[in-house]
């Protein structure tokens, strides 16, 4: 089930921001000294939506506890808010690993596809790119538009306002809605390495833009609806 996506922005769709907020709240619920800087990074495995945090190792000298014991406390406090969205593991010597579940990843992709994210005009700086760097970007954009038009003509998808003369800056996908990201077994259909690599790049881009276009608010925000 997809939650209402009408009011989602950069902060609400960034997985890293969401995880950092949940980790901060989980640490606060232990009753031990809080920490502002939550280490969290994407895994080097670009084929999976995995994040890792060494927060337990960072807290060990402060809390005077073994990293594994701290990791267990944090995970216990994360079970309720994260059980639907992430598969959580504790790796030696106390590293927290979060893998975005297929159902949550499908909803993340749906939000990204259906809702153009707001970009404040006051914060846009025109890129000073040389022509040889700008052309590949323009070509990629034109190629994507061409593929979308072809899919629309073949009735594989339906684009709102497909007429070039009336096309808005960002196309809206009218149908299918929601996009069938999952198969009958509830697994993500996108399995090719190129597809997974593109999803990985999308996660990285959105995570990177949060500090520019918006901070997370609302610790109970969830990728998947209840």
When mean pLDDT is compared across 138-142, 161-165, 203-207, the lowest value belongs to 161-165
Asked if 223 and 8 count as a contact pair (C-beta separation under 8 A), the reply is no
Cα distance between residue 171 and residue 62, in whole Å: 50
Judge whether residue 122 has pLDDT over 80.
no
Cα distance between residue 29 and residue 79, in whole Å: 13
By C-alpha distance, which of 141, 139, 102, 48 is closest to 223?
102
Phi, psi of 176 (to 5 degrees): -75, 150
Pairing relationship of beta strands 50-53 and 86-91 according to DSSP bridges: unpaired
Cα distance between residue 54 and residue 100, in whole Å: 18
Higher-pLDDT residue of 155, 171: 155
The string of pLDDT tens digits covering residues 37-59 is 899 999 887 788 999 999 999 99
The verdict on residue 178 lying in a domain is: no
Pairing relationship of beta strands 41-42 and 172-175 according to DSSP bridges: unpaired
The verdict on residue 70 lying in a domain is: yes
Average pLDDT over residues 172-199: 91
* Rg value, the chain, Cα: 20
The alpha carbon of residue 37 and the mean position of all alpha carbons in its chain are separated, in whole angstroms, by 20
Confidence of residue 223 (pLDDT cuts 50, 70, 90): low
3-class secondary structure, 90:
strand
The verdict on residue 129 lying in a domain is: no
The verdict on residue 177 lying in a domain is: no
- Whether the ω angle into residue 178 lies within 30 degrees of 0, i.e. cis, is yes
The verdict on residue 77 lying in a domain is: yes
Identify the domain containing residue 102 by its residue range. Answer: 1-118+183-226
Conformational region of residue 31, where left means phi above 0, alpha means psi within -120 to 50, and beta covers everything else:
left
- Residue 142: Cβ-neighbour burial (10 angstroms; 0-12, 13-18, 19+): exposed
The verdict on residue 187 lying in a domain is: yes
Phi, psi of 124 (to 5 degrees): -85, 125
Q: Tokens 């922005």 label which residue?
A: 9
The verdict on residue 35 lying in a domain is: yes
Our count of domains for the chain comes to 1
In the predicted model, what is the mean pLDDT of the chain? 81
Question: For position 84, which CATH number holds?
Answer: 3.30.1360.70
């Amino acid at each position: 089930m997809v939650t209402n996506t009408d009011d989602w922005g950069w902060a609400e769709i960034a997985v890293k921001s969401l995880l950092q907020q949940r980790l901060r709240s989980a640490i606060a619920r232990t009753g031990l000294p809080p920490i502002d800087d939550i280490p969290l990074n994407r895994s080097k495995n670009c084929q999976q939506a995995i994040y890792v945090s060494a927060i337990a190792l960072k807290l060990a000298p402060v809390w005077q506890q073994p990293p594994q014991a701290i990791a267990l406390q944090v995970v216990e406090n994360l079970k309720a808010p994260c059980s639907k969205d992430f598969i959580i593991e504790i790796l030696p010597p106390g590293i927290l690993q979060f893998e975005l579940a297929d159902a949550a990843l499908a909803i993340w992709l749906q939000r990204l596809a259906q809702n153009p994210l707001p970009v404040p005009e006051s914060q846009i700086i025109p890129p000073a790119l040389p022509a040889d760097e700008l052309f590949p970007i323009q070509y990629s954009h034109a190629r994507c538009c061409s593929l979308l038009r072809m899919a629309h003509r073949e009735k594989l998808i339906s684009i709102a306002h497909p007429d070039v003369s009336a096309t808005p800056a960002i196309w809206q996908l009218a149908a299918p809605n929601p996009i069938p990201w999952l198969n009958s077994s509830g697994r993500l259909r996108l399995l090719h390495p190129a597809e997974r690599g593109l999803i990985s790049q999308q996660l990285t881009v959105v995570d990177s833009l949060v500090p520019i276009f918006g901070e997370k608010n609302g610790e109970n925000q969830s990728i998947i609806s209840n």
